[in-house]
Structure 1
Amino acid sequence: MSILLLGATSDIGTEIVKLIGEGEQVVLAARDPEKIPELPGTTHTLAFEATDLDSHRALVEEAERLAGPIDTAIVAFGILGDQERAETDEHHAAEIALVDYVAQISMLTVLADHMSSGRIVAFSSIAGWRPRRANYVYGSTKAGLDAFCQGLADRLHGTDLELYIARPGFVIGSMTEGMSPAVMSVRPEQVARAVVERFGRPGTFWIPPGLLVLATIMNLVPRPIWRHMPR
């Protein structure tokens, strides 16, 4: 059995592999394979362009050819994008949507169709719970992805294939470098540990768990106030 990490330069994805990859066959897929860090396990690397949707199924098949049947698939690729640029540049707005939503549901569909057992890890975000003026393009992709994952989880319920949908808060990492941390911020290693500790109980979970309280309050904020909320 093997582990497939899609987005092998992801802070969170690599931290998960550090926790579960020792002694395992691990396939690391990234746009720039030369930037993939050294990770535990017997590793194989593949070039992966998330926006090339036609390549998704072939990549999963190649991963299995290299390392054997996939037991754990971690879908960790994505971009934050530039909100200010996306407000006037329709191509950039579409790029964010393509990477963070369309490519995600494409790969998740391939994995759910290809794998008969094991587990798939997907990443939603507090940003998608109630998208804000300050990051509504990225937030909208996470809202859509979260909705897709809820339906996919229902479809897989009762099968031998488990879907884990992590909803972390603001993650302090390379993607958010230079940004001021938000309330209940977490680091990649905290998210990774929460994901691994969740194994055996598929479904949706907040990281940290107390974020659910904040999310509930967010829904009560009147829109005239909400539209001025920072990222």
Structure 2
Amino acid sequence: MKDAFGTPQSLLILGGTSEIALATARRLVARRTRTVWLAGRPSPALEAAAEQLRDLGADARTVAFDALDSESHEETLGKVFTEGDIDMVLLAFGVLGDQERDEDEPLSAVRVAQTNYTGAVSSGLVCANALKRQGHGSLVVLSSVAGERARRANFIYGSSKAGLDAFAQGLGDALHGSGVHVMVVRPGFVRSKMTAGMKEAPLATTPEAVAEAIEAGLRRRAETVWVPGALRLVMSALRHVPRPVFRKLPV
């Protein structure tokens, strides 16, 4: 159960090597979180992440999880919940893809869509149903401002995040009153390994800043969190720019 300050005592991360997710885990472990499950493809990086959290005092465990293997999600994630209640699930996996290549290689584009959307739908529903059976818990979904309006530069990734965002919002409505809290997080450009070498966008942020926003959102049981907060206004304006004008913008 969450403590008196709303900090989860147990955490399941889907995408156990995500820089944002691990920054969030470190913040929560520094508070009151004691058990952390890192779900991801078995790798030295996953084990190293778990060891780092153990060094901070957490009981960190790993579980083999593949976002693309939807048929295994119920069994794999179900086993985690049989070990005890989970106070928070952080859905943090995703791939950026390569827009130019993906346009030329449709199967590559499909992989982006399957990872970011269908894999999230499958694992998100499995976790949501488990949290509902518990009668408590938070499901935090890492979306992106890229899903707010499709841009020529990354519409394949953006469309997959748009689908994820809509799914998570609808799921939050479906779970309203069940004791389960769904929070959608919309970061802008995050300085990370995923974006290394890319031209930095305005209002760029860091995994640590996103983690801080997630923690603050949990405390107030927010439904949507923008990182940084100024992006709420920026995207509200861009959403209403006429399409012929939007095509000409350097976004």
- For residues 220 and 121 of structure 1, the distance between their equivalents in structure 2, rounded to whole angstroms, comes to 27
Corresponding residue for residue 144 of structure 1: 163
Corresponding residue for residue 24 of structure 2: 16
- For residues 248 and 143 of structure 2, the distance between their equivalents in structure 1, rounded to whole angstroms, comes to 23
SS of equivalent to 2:61: strand
- For residues 89 and 26 of structure 1, the distance between their equivalents in structure 2, rounded to whole angstroms, comes to 37
- For residues 104 and 157 of structure 1, the distance between their equivalents in structure 2, rounded to whole angstroms, comes to 20
Q: Match for 2:73 among 47, 56, 60?
A: 56
Cα 1:54–1:230 shift into 2, 3 Å: farther
SS of equivalent to 1:98: helix
Say how many residue pairs are matched: 230
Is 1:76 paired with 2:92? yes
Corresponding residue for residue 204 of structure 2: 185
Given that residues 19 and 192 in structure 2 are in contact (C-alpha distance below 8 angstroms), is that contact kept between their aligned partners in structure 1?
yes
Deviation of 1:64 (Å): 2.8
- For residues 27 and 192 of structure 2, the distance between their equivalents in structure 1, rounded to whole angstroms, comes to 18
Normalising by the residue count of structure 1, what TM-score does the alignment of the two structures yield?
0.94
- Residue type of the alignment partner of 1:212: R
State the 4+ residue runs in structure 1 displaced beyond 3 angstroms.
Answer: 228-231
Cα 1:230–1:179 shift into 2, 3 Å: farther
Cα 1:220–1:64 shift into 2, 3 Å: closer
SS of equivalent to 2:221: coil
- For residues 28 and 65 of structure 1, the distance between their equivalents in structure 2, rounded to whole angstroms, comes to 16
Corresponding residue for residue 196 of structure 1: 215
Deviation of 1:224 (Å): 2.5
Unaligned 5+ residue runs, structure 1? Answer: none
Cα 1:178–1:214 shift into 2, 3 Å: same
- For residues 123 and 181 of structure 1, the distance between their equivalents in structure 2, rounded to whole angstroms, comes to 20
- For residues 162 and 142 of structure 2, the distance between their equivalents in structure 1, rounded to whole angstroms, comes to 11
SS of equivalent to 1:63: helix
Given that residues 3 and 21 in structure 1 are in contact (C-alpha distance below 8 angstroms), is that contact kept between their aligned partners in structure 2?
no
Deviation of 1:129 (Å): 0.4
Unaligned 5+ residue runs, structure 2? Answer: 2-9
SS of equivalent to 2:153: helix
Q: Match for 2:15 among 1, 7, 10?
A: 7
Aligned-pair RMSD on alpha carbons? 1.5
Corresponding residue for residue 134 of structure 1: 153
SS of equivalent to 1:174: coil
Is 1:212 paired with 2:232? yes
Corresponding residue for residue 42 of structure 1: 59
Given that residues 213 and 225 in structure 2 are in contact (C-alpha distance below 8 angstroms), is that contact kept between their aligned partners in structure 1?
no
SS of equivalent to 1:32: coil
Is 1:97 paired with 2:117? no
Normalising by the residue count of structure 2, what TM-score does the alignment of the two structures yield?
0.87
- Residue type of the alignment partner of 1:202: A
Deviation of 1:229 (Å): 4.1
